[in-house]
Amino acid sequence: MSKTDDKEFESKSTKLEVCIDSLESAINALNGGADELELCSSLAEGGLTPSPGLVKEITKLIKNETKWDNLQNNKKRKVNVMIRCRGGSDFCYNESEMKTMLSDIEFYKELGVDRFVFGALTDDQEIDIVNCTKVIEKARPIPVTFHRAFDLCKDPRTAVADIIFLGFNRVLTSGQKTSAADEMALQLLKFLLANYGDKIEIMPGAGVNCDNANVFVESGFYIIHSSCRKIKLLVDVNSDLKMGTNEIYVTDESIVKMLKEIIKSHS
């Protein structure tokens, strides 16, 4: 597959995907000019499958996009749904977990989402060919991103080749480091772009912000991923019995706008 063969590669200007886990964050991201939303729950756990209510409300917002003053070129902003039924860093799923996630895909296809986000590994930290095949087949014709489970793979070259073979058309990666802006991470990201960028979309994510976004744009990446978040303080309940923290993360509209301006000025 060449870039000209896939609509995902038609636009040469860098796009911004913002990951969100609330309707408030989605509205802020849309107002800020995000091109795509990655819908999750529990971003503190790395992102899990979002609730039906959240997806339904955001898809309604997108359908009424003409109400947004910052809609660019009449292009529909995209709704991308995370498929991950539990936390944990292993990404090794059993039969019951796979049944749950395949059912989630079937359900969200009915809502007309634009993309799914998924990743599964074996115990040896290689791409789980069997379970990934099930997801690709269930999602078809909706495209699927392979998420940052890629960053745990022992051999990124073998992993990206497997991902392409399976039919994923985008991979989200931090370059196998904590931040995609890390020097070693950038080396891997640029290697992936140079050697596989005509077959799959390489999307840098993790640690991407207004201070370093220009590096990814100038390096030729067509899409970058960020949370654009800030801390929001909740009411501090005066009780010795704690039900959770009084701090949550919310996407900041001004950060999204700033990031979009940086992308535009360096494209």
Give tens-digit pLDDT for 215-244. Answer: 999 999 999 999 998 877 666 766 666 666
Comparing 66-70, 148-152, 199-203, which segment has the lowest mean pLDDT?
Answer: 66-70
Beta-carbon contacts of residue 78 (< 8 Å; ≥ 6 apart): 35, 36, 37, 62, 114, 115
Give tens-digit pLDDT for 27-61. Answer: 999 999 999 999 999 998 899 999 999 999 999 99
Domains, the chain, in order of start with CATH, read 13-266 (3.20.20.380)
Give tens-digit pLDDT for 77-102. Answer: 999 999 999 999 899 999 999 999 99
**Residue 220 to residue 199: CA distance in whole angstroms:** 15
Q: Which two tokens stand for residue 67?
A: 């109400």
**Residue 55 to residue 113: CA distance in whole angstroms:** 8
pLDDT at 76: 86
pTM for the structure as a whole: 0.89
The number of CA neighbours under 13 Å toward the Cβ of 99 is: 3
**Residue 161 pLDDT class (50, 70, 90 cuts):** very high
